[in-house]
């Protein structure tokens, strides 16, 4: 049956409503640059230049292109109608003939001046502006009702005269912001025009040059817009392409820069982002440092995010942009079996697929970031930091033999047992304890010996906050002032020198003789303070297998290496803490040297690791911080 087409009652009101999602700063830059590019493509190439023009002594942002130009009648037809584009393609993925008017209405309500020439001597001038009485936005008419007036060839800018044709568009701004060369935000960094264009356009068509004139640049020199891809290719250490389901993913790994020396490239898209790519333009750019951390993490990039750039290019037939060209969405006419009932791009699906098929260069980032802790010195440093102020190593009540009364609780400690002075055993404390064990009975035979015995007992229990054993039964007045501010009362301070020196051994690398520490976790040598750990133990291998299985969908070599590192770290951390705590307990009279040594025996250390949920929990958390949620992770 015949259909009567809908008509628009108030085109200006419709534009204002659609324009709600338009960026008033970048919208006009994108629209007018794209118009200039397409006009230049019509003549086989040319230049589009952003510059500044003085009107009424106020700088006005102006764009000039060497395109085909418009006749007076064409200019009236294209500028005066919404939804009419000069491009032949009128599908959902093509120009809508709306975006230009949307952005101009928003950013330059005081007027937009067009001057266009199709050939030397044939020029026309038109203007779009808002009627101050009715509020309507459209073509300005003269007293005779005409929307255009002729222009002489001498009025054409040099760039247009060089080509023999072209168009100039000038933004007159808003009443509250007439200088359109400056961003509305006074705190915005200089060079905003080139930066906006390089952030929006992935690359420019061959034969087209886009320039920003000197007055609009911080250094006053003419600058070229190359597009984001050109800049990333120059900075990339590695790059590649991965084909996903109904999309192509482009990735870059940028060169490493020290955070203290790295300087952002002015006028370019910053590294560390995820974006959608459509028709050589970038949509939905999310920077890792500005809210895009979660999306980057979904793609499996959880470390060195500021070095990785990811563009997802959906198959062109499946997506379309909004009228304002600000967002991408799935086309309603796509095949019914593709993401039914969904309008937004399927970011989680693409991210999960890429994470499973991550290129080796990006997967290696997790290992590079986890490189610390492989050497014995790094392990000790890591453990000292992790155990700092650990409540599990805090003070315990002084031991008193059972005899009808209770041992004092933590809240009733004597002044000598100030929790801030109870920290793990140092060399001085260990020496005092060993002297007591060997000569305690002999010292008790004389008054001087008994005095020395009391001093040694005090030293063996207590330590000054700076790590040296105190000479007197009570802390010196200045001691609390030297207590680190970050140390909380009742918590222990752990020094790297207090921790055992780790040594991993295995039959595989011939560092463990067959039969030594057989089915034992570790052995500890008090004299050398060395902790020898069995890397072949079934508990250790079980932990590694558990971590690997949770991330079975990732690159196996990376997951296995990372799981091994984390398992070693967590095992050492737990064993070192166990040894520190047992040394604290062994200072009491209830533990002789033989009994104290038994707490460090291979059997005791094996028992300490036989069941420990905390190790598995910390190890799983560490794996997820590097690789994201596991394949079998609980929601």
Is 184 part of any domain? yes
Note whether 84 and 207 are same-domain residues: yes
DSSP per position, 524-535: EETTTTEEEEET
**CATH number of the domain bearing residue 142:** 3.30.565.10
- List pLDDT tens digits, range 393-406: 777 777 777 654 44
SS in 3 state form for 364-375? HHHHHHCCCCCC
- Whether the per-residue pLDDT at 43 is higher than 70: the answer is yes
Q: Which of 169, 196, 225 is the last residue of a domain?
A: 225
The domain in which residue 151 lies consists of: 1-225
Using only the alpha carbons of the chain, give its radius of gyration.
37
Note whether 381 and 356 are same-domain residues: no
Distance (Å, rounded) from C-alpha 241 to C-alpha 615?
A: 38
Q: How confident is the model at residue 322 (pLDDT cuts 50, 70, 90)?
A: confident
- Whether the per-residue pLDDT at 194 is higher than 80: the answer is yes
- Cα first-last separation, the chain: 54
- Eight-class DSSP state of 234: H
- List pLDDT tens digits, range 216-259: 998 999 999 999 999 999 999 999 999 999 999 999 999 987 55
- Whether the per-residue pLDDT at 480 is higher than 50: the answer is no
Distance (Å, rounded) from C-alpha 100 to C-alpha 171?
A: 12
Where do we find the tokens 């033989």?
A: 594
Q: Which of 187, 207, 225 is the last residue of a domain?
A: 225
Q: Which of 490, 508, 524 is the last residue of a domain?
A: 490
Note whether 48 and 175 are same-domain residues: yes
Which ranges in 157-255 belong to alpha helices (H)?
Answer: 158-163, 192-200, 228-235
∠199-202-205 over CA atoms, to 5°?
125
Distance (Å, rounded) from C-alpha 526 to C-alpha 601?
A: 11
- List pLDDT tens digits, range 417-437: 444 444 444 555 555 655 555
pLDDT: which is higher, 118 or 450: 118
Number of domains, the chain: 4
Note whether 433 and 460 are same-domain residues: yes
């Amino acid at each position: 049956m015949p259909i009567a087409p809908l008509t628009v009652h108030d085109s200006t009101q419709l534009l204002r409503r659609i324009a709600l999602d338009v960026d008033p700063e970048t919208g006009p830059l994108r629209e007018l640059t794209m118009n200039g590019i397409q006009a230049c493509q019509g003549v086989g190439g040319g230049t589009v230049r952003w510059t500044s023009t003085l009107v009424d002594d106020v700088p006005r942002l102006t764009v000039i292109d060497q395109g085909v130009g418009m006749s007076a009648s064409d200019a009236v037809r294209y500028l005066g109608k919404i939804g009419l584009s000069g491009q032949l393609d009128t599908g959902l993925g093509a120009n809508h003939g709306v975006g230009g008017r949307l952005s101009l209405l928003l950013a330059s309500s005081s007027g937009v001046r067009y001057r266009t020439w199709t050939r030397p001597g044939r020029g026309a001038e038109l203007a779009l502006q808002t009627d101050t009485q009715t509020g309507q936005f459209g073509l300005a008419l003269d007293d005779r009702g005409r929307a255009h007036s002729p222009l002489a060839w001498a009025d054409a800018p040099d760039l247009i005269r060089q080509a023999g044709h072209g168009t100039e568009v000038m933004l007159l701004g808003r009443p509250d912001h007439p200088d359109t060369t400056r961003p509305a935000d006074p705190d915005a960094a200089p060079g905003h025009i080139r930066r906006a264009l390089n952030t929006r356009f992935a690359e420019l068509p061959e034969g087209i040059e886009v320039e920003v004139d000197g007055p609009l640049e911080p250094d006053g020199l003419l600058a070229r817009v190359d597009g984001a891809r050109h800049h990333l290719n120059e900075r990339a250490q590695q790059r590649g392409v991965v084909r996903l389901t109904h999309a192509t993913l482009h990735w870059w790994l940028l060169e490493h820069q020290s955070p203290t020396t790295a300087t952002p490239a002015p006028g370019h898209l910053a590294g560390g982002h995820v974006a959608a790519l459509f028709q050589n333009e970038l949509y939905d750019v999310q920077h890792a440092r500005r809210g895009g951390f979660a999306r980057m993490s979904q793609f499996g990039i959880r470390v060195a995010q500021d070095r990785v750039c990811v563009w997802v290019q959906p198959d062109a037939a499946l997506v379309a942009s909004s009228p304002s060209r600000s967002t991408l969405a799935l086309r309603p006419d796509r095949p019914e079996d593709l993401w039914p009932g969904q309008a937004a791009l399927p970011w989680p699906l693409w991210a999960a697929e890429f994470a499973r098929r991550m290129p080796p260069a990006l997967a290696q980032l997790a290992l590079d970031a986890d490189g610390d802790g492989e050497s014995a010195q790094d392990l000790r440093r890591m453990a000292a930091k992790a155990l700092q102020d650990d409540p599990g190593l805090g003070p315990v009540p002084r031991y008193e033999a059972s005899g009808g009364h209770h041992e004092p609780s933590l809240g009733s400690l004597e002044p000598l047992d100030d929790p801030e002075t109870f920290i793990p055993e140092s060399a001085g404390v260990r020496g005092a304890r060993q002297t007591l064990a060997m000569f305690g009975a002999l010292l008790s035979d004389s008054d001087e010996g008994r005095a020395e015995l009391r001093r040694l007992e005090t030293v063996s229990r207590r330590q000054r906050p700076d790590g040296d054993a105190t000479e007197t039964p009570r802390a010196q007045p200045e001691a609390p002032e030297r207590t680190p501010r970050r140390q909380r009362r009742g918590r222990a301070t752990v020094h790297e020198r207090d921790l055992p020196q780790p040594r991993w051994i295995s039959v595989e690398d011939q560092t463990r003789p067959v039969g030594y520490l057989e089915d034992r976790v570790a052995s500890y040598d008090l004299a050398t303070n060395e902790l020898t750990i069995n890397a072949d133990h079934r508990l250790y291998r079980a932990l590694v297998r558990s971590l690997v299985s949770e991330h079975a969908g990732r690159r196996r070599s990376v997951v296995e290496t990372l799981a091994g590192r984390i398992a070693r770290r967590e095992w050492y951390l737990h064993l070192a803490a166990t040894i520190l705590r047992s040394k604290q307990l062994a200072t009491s009279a209830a533990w002789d040297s033989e009994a104290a040594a038994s707490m460090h025996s291979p059997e005791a250390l094996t028992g300490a690791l036989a069941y420990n949920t905390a190790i598995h929990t910390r190890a799983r958390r560490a794996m997820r911080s590097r690789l994201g949620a596991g394949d079998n992770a609980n929601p």
